């Protein structure tokens, strides 16, 4: 979406981390930003610094009334939305047996259903404009799963699948979709933005292995991640998926290679399920893959 005009960004979860850095970077480039957060006072400094280009708006993505009001506030302020960034979310640490029903529901309400509420509220505007770009921030955890984060991964895998289908649905409407898959970055994900389940001692080895894997981790710079996202939005041919960080790319590549090898090992069993007459039950999916 490379244009000479000032774009309007609508960013959820703009108080910290990627959302905050992206809002700052877009404003520094002269774009306009609707920075949303559950506590708008956490982003009012942006509006004070850029009174003509920024708006601080209250938004709990799980509250559909607030979603509608926030989108309307963006339109009232700037007349349009060009880039939607679905960034709001948090992590949930706990083995499947450990997490409570309430924790599971809250995780999906915020990370998945909140994203859907916002996207469905903004899509009519983008469709009418015949232009726009949706950035859905998932994680390397939308491609690779770690023990102890199963429910978090579930939300991110769901977003990946929905986003891939959405990209095909809106391709003819002038709307782009990019799935952003960050690896490890210096944000508050592992502290303030992480909920934890009550531990069951039998799962202690899982957490010990997890901690050992991360003890020598090298984290990326959220400001550079924001610049990478802006570069994707600037591109005439933005990617469907954008991994951020060498660690993310390494993990995704290793997983795909491992999966491909396993599929190949089991290929004789897989193809043996076909009808003896190949024409029976055949269906051509190639046209749907894009």
* Active site positions, annotated: 152
Per residue in 37-83, pLDDT (tens digit) is 999 999 999 999 999 999 999 999 999 999 999 999 999 999 999 99
Asked if 9 and 33 touch (Cβ cutoff 8 Å), the reply is yes
Q: Would you mind telling me the total number of residues written for the chain in this entry?
A: 290
User: Phi and psi for 151 in degrees, rounded to 5?
Assistant: -70, -40
Please, what's the b/e burial string for 101-127 (b: 16 or more CB within 10 A of its CB; e: otherwise)?
Answer: eebbebbbebbbbbbebbbebbbebbe
CB 233 within 8 A of CB 132: no
Question: What distances in angstroms separate CA 31 from CA 3, 4, 53, 96, 135, one per listed residue?
Answer: 11, 10, 7, 43, 16
pLDDT digit of tens for each residue in the chain (290 aa)?
545 579 999 999 999 999 999 999 999 999 999 999 999 999 999 999 999 999 999 999 999 999 999 999 999 999 999 999 999 999 999 999 999 999 999 999 999 999 999 999 999 999 999 999 999 999 999 999 999 999 999 999 999 999 999 999 999 999 999 999 999 876 555 455 578 888 999 999 888 887 777 666 667 889 999 999 999 999 999 999 999 999 999 999 999 999 999 999 999 999 999 888 766 556 666 666 76
Greatest CA separation found in the chain?
70
Domains of the chain: 8-262 (3.40.50.720)
Rounded distance, CA 77 to CA 97, Å? Answer: 47
**By three-state DSSP, how is residue 148 classified?**
coil
- Burial class of residue 258, CB neighbours in 10 A (0-12, 13-18, 19+): exposed
Nearest to 144 by CA among 229, 257, 223, 232: 257
Identify the H or E element spanning 177. Answer: strand 175-182
The pLDDT value recorded for residue 197 is 87
Strands (E), 24-174: 32-37, 54-58, 83-86, 91-93, 132-137
CA distance 33 to 50: 9
CA–CA dist 260, 252 (Å, integer): 12
C-alpha to C-alpha distance for 218 and 221, rounded to whole angstroms: 10
Q: In whole angstroms, give the CA distance from residue 145 to residue 155.
A: 11
Which of 66, 38, 30 shows the shortest CA–CA distance to 192? Answer: 38
Q: Which of 42, 12, 18 minimizes the C-alpha distance to 245?
A: 18
Please report the pLDDT score of residue 117 as a whole number: 99
What is the value of pTM for the model shown? Answer: 0.91
What pLDDT score was predicted for residue 2? Answer: 45
Helix ranges (DSSP H) in 82-237? 101-108, 114-129, 150-170, 204-214, 222-234
Please write the tens of the pLDDT for every residue from 264-289: 999 999 999 988 876 655 666 666 67
Whole-number Å distance between alpha carbons of 36 and 2 = 24
**What is the three-class DSSP state of 95?**
coil
């Amino acid at each position: 979406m490379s244009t000479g005009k000032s774009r309007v960004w609508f960013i959820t979860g703009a108080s910290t981390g990627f959302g905050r850095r992206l809002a700052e970077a877009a404003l520094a480039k002269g774009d306009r930003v609707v920075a949303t957060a559950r506590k708008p006072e956490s982003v009012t400094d942006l509006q004070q610094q850029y009174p003509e280009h920024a708006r601080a708006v209250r938004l709990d993505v799980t509250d559909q009334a607030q979603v509608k009001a926030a989108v309307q506030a963006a339109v009232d302020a700037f007349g349009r939305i060009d880039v939607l960034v679905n960034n709001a979310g948090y992590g949930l640490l706990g083995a499947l047996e450990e997490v409570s029903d309430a924790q599971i529901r809250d995780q999906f309400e915020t990370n998945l259903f909140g994203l859907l509420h916002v996207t469905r509220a903004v899509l009519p505007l983008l469709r009418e404009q015949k232009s726009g770009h949706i950035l859905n921030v998932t994680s390397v955890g939308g491609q690779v799963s770690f023990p102890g984060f199963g429910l978090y991964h579930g939300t991110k895998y769901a977003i990946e699948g929905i986003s891939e289908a959405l990209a095909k649905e809106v391709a003819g409407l002038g709307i782009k979709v990019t799935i952003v898959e960050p690896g490890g970055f210096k944000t508050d994900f592992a502290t303030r933005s992480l909920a934890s389940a009550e531990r069951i001692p039998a799962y202690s080895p899982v957490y010990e292995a997890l901690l050992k894997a991360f003890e020598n981790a090298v984290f990326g710079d959220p400001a550079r991640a924001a610049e990478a996202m802006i570069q994707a939005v600037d591109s005439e041919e933005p990617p469907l998926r954008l991994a951020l960080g060498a660690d993310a790319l390494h993990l995704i590549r290793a997983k795909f290679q491992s999966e491909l090898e396993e599929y190949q090992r089991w290929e004789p069993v897989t193809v043996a399920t076909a009808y003896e007459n190949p024409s029976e039950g055949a269906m051509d999916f190639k046209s749907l893959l894009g």
